[in-house]
Amino acid sequence: MHTHRIQINFTIIQFLLWFSWGTFGLFYIAYLEDLGYSSKLIALTIILSTIFGVLGQYVLGYISDKTSKIKYVFLGALFMLILFVIGFGFAAKHLFPMIMVMSLIGFVWLPLESLLDSWILSTKGLDSSLYGFMRAGASFGFAIMTLFFGGFVIKYGYDIIVYAYVITAGFLWVMAFFTKTDTIKEPHTKEKIYVKSLLKNKAYMAILVYSMLLFITHMGVNNFYIYIFKNIGGNASHIGISAAFAAFTEIIGFIYARKIISKIAPLKIFFIVGFITFLRVYLLTIAITPTQAILTAILQGIGFSLFLASFKLYVVKITPTRLLASAQTIAAGVTFGLSSIVASLLGGFLIDDYGIERFYDIMNLIAFIALVYIGLLLMNDFKKRKSLTP
Pairwise pLDDT comparison (95 vs 203), residue with the higher score = 95
> In residues, how long is the chain?
390
pLDDT at 160 over 80: yes
Q: What is the H or E stretch that residue 284 is in? A: helix 266-286
Output helix, strand, coil percentages for the chain, rounded to the nearest 5.
85, 0, 15
End-to-end Cα separation, the chain, in angstroms: 49
The percent of residues above 90 in pLDDT, for the chain, comes to 38
Dihedral (CA of 343, 210, 104, 77) sign: positive
Q: What is the mean pLDDT of residues 42-68?
A: 85
pLDDT at 190 over 50: no
Of 313, 13, 370, the closest CA to residue 179 belongs to 13
Please give the pLDDT value at position 282. Answer: 95
Please give the pLDDT value at position 323. Answer: 65
pLDDT at 123 over 90: no
Main-chain dihedrals φ then ψ at residue 123, nearest 5 degrees: -80, 130
What angle in degrees, to the nearest 10, is found between the helix axes of 297-317 and 324-332? 150
Please give the pLDDT value at position 325. Answer: 62
DSSP 3-state of 2: coil
pLDDT at 158 over 80: yes
What whole-number distance in Å separates Cα of residue 91 and Cα of residue 333? 26
pLDDT band for position 144 (cuts 50, 70, 90): confident
pLDDT at 366 over 50: yes
pLDDT at 374 over 50: yes
What whole-number distance in Å separates Cα of residue 359 and Cα of residue 220? 9
pLDDT at 135 over 90: no
pLDDT band for position 188 (cuts 50, 70, 90): very low
pLDDT at 369 over 90: yes
Average pLDDT, the chain: 85
pLDDT band for position 390 (cuts 50, 70, 90): low
Of 147, 119, 52, 69, the closest CA to residue 340 belongs to 52
What whole-number distance in Å separates Cα of residue 82 and Cα of residue 88? 10
Please give the pLDDT value at position 322. Answer: 63
Please give the pLDDT value at position 212. Answer: 92
What whole-number distance in Å separates Cα of residue 254 and Cα of residue 256? 5
Dihedral (CA of 327, 71, 218, 35) sign: negative
Mention every residue, 6+ apart, whose C-beta is less than 8 A from residue 16: 141, 168, 169, 171, 172, 175
Pairwise pLDDT comparison (335 vs 20), residue with the higher score = 20
Q: What is the mean pLDDT of residues 176-188?
A: 73
Q: Amino acid identity of 73?
A: V
Mention every residue, 6+ apart, whose C-beta is less than 8 A from residue 325: 61, 62, 64, 65, 70, 114, 115, 118, 122
Q: What is the mean pLDDT of residues 150-173?
A: 92
Of 86, 103, 74, 88, the closest CA to residue 166 belongs to 86
What whole-number distance in Å separates Cα of residue 333 and Cα of residue 358? 27
Please give the pLDDT value at position 310. Answer: 83
What whole-number distance in Å separates Cα of residue 142 and Cα of residue 14? 10
How would DSSP label each residue in 106-173? HHHHHHHHHHHHHHHHTBTT--GGGHHHHHHHHHHHHHHHHHHHHHHHHHH-TTHHHHHHHHHHHHHH
DSSP 233: T
- For the stretch 80-100, pLDDT in tens is 999 999 999 999 999 999 999
What whole-number distance in Å separates Cα of residue 49 and Cα of residue 152? 26
- For the stretch 24-43, pLDDT in tens is 988 899 899 889 999 889 98
pLDDT at 217 over 50: yes
What whole-number distance in Å separates Cα of residue 306 and Cα of residue 255? 10
DSSP 3-state of 354: coil
pLDDT band for position 189 (cuts 50, 70, 90): very low
DSSP 3-state of 201: coil
pTM of whole model > 0.85?
Answer: no
